[in-house]
Amino acid sequence: MRQSILILLLFLFCANAFCQPKIPVIKNGQDDNRVPYIRLTQSIINNSEVVIIYRGFSFFSQHSPLHIINYGVDKKWHYHEIATTANDSALRTINLPQDSIIKIWHAFVDNDLFIIKDEKELNESCPTHVNDGAWIDINIIAKTAAKGLHYYAAAVIEEDCPGSKERQSIIKCLDVIFSFDYEKYK
């Protein structure tokens, strides 16, 4: 009986330890401690090991929701959304399945968003002229560092001027992020 309990405890401890994310070291990007909607996000940041806040904009949708994923001190993944319309700025927790949130996390990690440079840091000259493209803002906040990434019309610019590792990483990440049907979990 004692041995069974010991094995069960060992299994539970090891399973929990292996589920914890390895948080990459944050490098490059703009050293950005300006977190959007800090009043609504501060408690999430304070109670998390890592927080990723992202929002995509286009010329026509200035009020895109702010998406937040975090690995909390409760050792669980969470997904939140802040509507950013003129009439609404409330924080909503959305019950996105853990495996979906983990896929989003891996999109950030696997595509090196913790280490790639911000678009402003890239020394590129591209003759493309995009006036109404979509852009993405990403804030990555860990206990020891924070960074911001901002990319404008990544897919269009990469098509016109291919070869940017950073822009390709952003595009791959966006493909994963926006592949989920968030509406069905609201």
pLDDT digits (tens, 9 = 90+) for 132-185: 678 888 999 888 888 889 898 888 888 888 889 999 999 999 999 888 887 787
Phi, psi of 110 (to 5 degrees): -65, -25
What pLDDT shows up at residue 87?
64
Average pLDDT over residues 99-117: 93
What's the pLDDT tens digit per position in 34-57? 556 677 788 898 999 999 999 887
* CB-count burial class (<10 Å; 0-12, 13-18, 19+) for 30: middle
- Is the pLDDT at 5 greater than 60, yes or no? no
* CA–CA dist 180, 178 (Å, integer): 6
What is the residue whose two structure tokens read 């990440």? 173
According to the model, what pLDDT value does residue 112 have? 93
**Does residue 49 contact residue 142 with C-beta atoms inside 8 Å?**
yes
